[in-house]
Structure 1
Amino acid sequence: MCLLSVQFGLQPTLTKTFTPDGVCRSTVVLVQEGLKFCFAYIMLRISGAKQSAVVGWTPNQWIRVAFLPAALYALQNMAALQAYQHLDSLTFNVLNQTKTLSAAMCCYLVMGKRQSFMQIFSLILLLLSALTMEGLVPLESLMFRSSNVSTSQVDWNSTHWSNGVAPILLASFISGLSGALSQRNLQSSGGGRNPYLFSMELCSASILILGSSLVFSNDGKRVTEDGFWAGWVPQLWIPITTNAIGGIIVGLVTKYAGSVRKGFALIFGIFLSGVVQAMLDQSHGVSREQVAGGVLAGVSLWIHATHPYQSKKLKNA
């Protein structure tokens, strides 16, 4: 949980600092997925579950279970990488938590999983935190004061919105949908699928999909003309490695600590990203809107994690 908080809080800063603007995003995501595959394989070997994990495994099962979520994850990673480069750490992490809203909606549509009244309230609070941080809901209105600020003052054509806010909201929605599909596929396969094996399946499918897309995309033309490593710098391996390790840590925390404690780890990660931003960007620091949005997001995650839905049978038991 401590590692997850640190990785979650520092990842936006590391990515924005060490990722060159001109680097080909497809090559970054490809290498990141390959590195994540290696880490998952190492953890599978260390856990001693390699033999039991592959019993009954078939290519058809891999295609059925992993390819659609992998395609969504690949698109999510591309959008998130663009947002990393155009948003500050605190804004990225708070807006990224809107994936809780999309996950709840998609889990209900895909799997029929319901939310409690308090969880629905927390999701509305989470949406309010994002709107407050972006100035769409004036901070004064939360304090029940009159305000002359209107949403018409928001520059919708700015690169902050087109290259930052829009990509991270897209990535968050895709994260909820792909997570719901992955959960359904895991449960439909008997619930005993090894998480490291599933990570390897997702990574290998993502690599195949992204590699094939290079044949038709502008990134593929750039790789052909300038080479695969065009625009790369040695420091770029720092955010790639931490992001790959973070994917493994999330799986471990979810499995052994549970989603409630994972929510607390993410709350501390939001706080940490705000502290880091205030220390590194002393000229701008952290605005009142960002503080309010971060607090609302933290409260939302706490409410959602501590008030799970209970069926009427459990309530009456």
Structure 2
Amino acid sequence: MAQQQQQQDSSTHAAADNQKAIFYMLLLSLQFAFQPLLTRQFTPQNICRSTVILCQELLKFLLALLMLSMSGNRTTALTGWTVTSWVTVAFFPAALYALQNIAALEAYQNLDALTFNVLNQTKTLSAALCCYLVMGRKQSYLQVVSLLLLLLSALIMEKLVTVDLFLGSSSSTPSLQLPEWGSKHWTHGVAPIMLASFISGLSGALSQRNLQAKGGGRNPYLFSMELCAASSLILLCSLVASPDGQQIAQDGFWNGWTASTWIPIFTNSVGGIIVGLVTKYAGSVRKGFALILGMFLSGIVQALVTEEGVSIEQGIGGGLAAVSLWMHATNPPVLKAKVE
């Protein structure tokens, strides 16, 4: 009787967790789909990007602190914490994250939502490469194929590869086209998001290695707070000699800001918390499906609320990116059993 009750309680608990997983995955998909559109709509082109990043990091810090306090593990998480451990674990990844945020914000303002989301998924390539170089994590054969497919989707989106092959043309292979390399689309859109994607993979691998070096005992909310604090300190120091610092000194910190500027800052900060909740309740594999749904939602939103619509290249590139994410998430490498 007791065993039956225990099984029933376990089943109820699993069902509750599954409901939470679905709910948080839907939230992540919506945030992923709308974030580029919100940032492009409500972040003025002439705004000082460093002020946006500073406020974003501060809000993330406060949200992580709130979540840490609500979890009831604040005292345990802070046990043994030192400035030295903070510098060792968080500072270099934080510097990379700060650069990544600035590059991503530049791309947000100059790319449509669907193109941004597809190109942003090339961070899977950099994550795989950096995890292998930093941690020795290998990819399965199908995962390698999926990464190449993801690269192809990016090339198609940017019209570096034509879609004749996919449209049934007599051409047997896709052909290369020469883009206008000096256009703002490339210099202020594609280049920044590719840089941000590579930095994302590198900083993620370094963070994971540092956390494992500490025995895996560091609280994730505390680590988020450490990253935010380090990123803010690095960014503040950089303002001393940077053009953004001169702009702030001349025009003021809030120049170009409106009340609506806080909308994408808030949604981006909340998105960081949602990613952690999806990982907790759904796992990394199902998180990939949430991003796939978000990618398709971004295409639907772009078609409905903007005049840009969805081009053939974007449709094919987005579909290939979705398939590649699904392949990568569902085909992890098989660990070989050790022969004694």
Q: Report if TM-score (shorter chain) is over 0.5.
A: yes
Q: Which runs of 4+ in 1 moved over 6 A?
A: none
The one-character-per-residue Cα deviations of 1:261-303 (angstroms, maximum 9, x if unpaired) are: 1000000000000000000124x31001000010000000000
Q: Determine the C-alpha separation between the residues in 2 that align with 1:289 and 1:132.
A: 6
Partner of 1:176: 201
CA distance in 1 between counterparts of 2:179 and 2:170 reads 18
Please give the TM-score of this superposition, normalised by the length of structure 2. Answer: 0.90
- Residue in structure 2 matched with residue 267 of structure 1 by the alignment: 292
Retained in 1: the 8 A contact 2:159–2:177? no
The CA deviation at 1:164 is: 0.2
The within-5 A match list for 1:1-317 is 1-143=25-167, 145-146=169-170, 151-282=176-307, 284-313=308-337
Q: Which runs of 5+ in 2 are unaligned?
A: 1-24
- Distance in 1 of aligned mates of 2:177 and 2:167: 21
- Identify if the C-alpha distance between structure 1 residues 127 and 44 changes in structure 2 by more than 3 Å, giving closer, same or farther: same
2:18 counterpart residue number: none
TM normalised by structure 1 equals 0.96
Q: Distance in 2 between matches of 1:141 and 1:133?
A: 14
User: How far apart, CA to CA, are the structure 1 residues paired with 2:283 and 2:211?
Assistant: 17
Question: Is the contact between residue 162 and residue 177 of structure 2 (CA under 8 Å) also seen in structure 1?
Answer: no
Between the aligned residues of both structures, percent identity stands at: 66
Number of matched pairs: 315
Cα distance in 2, alignment partners of residues 199 and 144 from structure 1 = 48
The CA distance in 1 between the partners of 2:133 and 2:174, in whole Å, is 37
Q: Deviations over 1:243-271 (max 9, x none)?
A: 01101111221232111010000000000
Measured on the aligned residues, the alpha-carbon RMSD in Å equals 1.6
Residue type at the aligned position of 1:37: F
Q: Could you tell me whether the CA contact under 8 Å between 2:94 and 2:228 is conserved in 1?
A: yes
Q: Distance in 2 between matches of 1:185 and 1:220?
A: 31
Distance 1:152 1:122, change over 3 A: closer
Shift in Å, 1:144: 5.8
Is the radius of gyration larger for structure 1 or structure 2? 2
The answer as to whether partners of 2:165 and 2:174 remain within 8 angstroms in 1 is no
Deviations along 1:72-94, one digit per CA (max 9) or x if unpaired, are 00000000000000000000000
Quote how far apart the aligned CAs of 1:60 are. 0.1
* Deviation sequence 1:199-242 (CA, Å, 0-9, x none): 00000000000000000101001111111111111110000000
Cα offset for 1:313? Answer: 1.1
**1:112 to partner: Cα distance:** 0.2
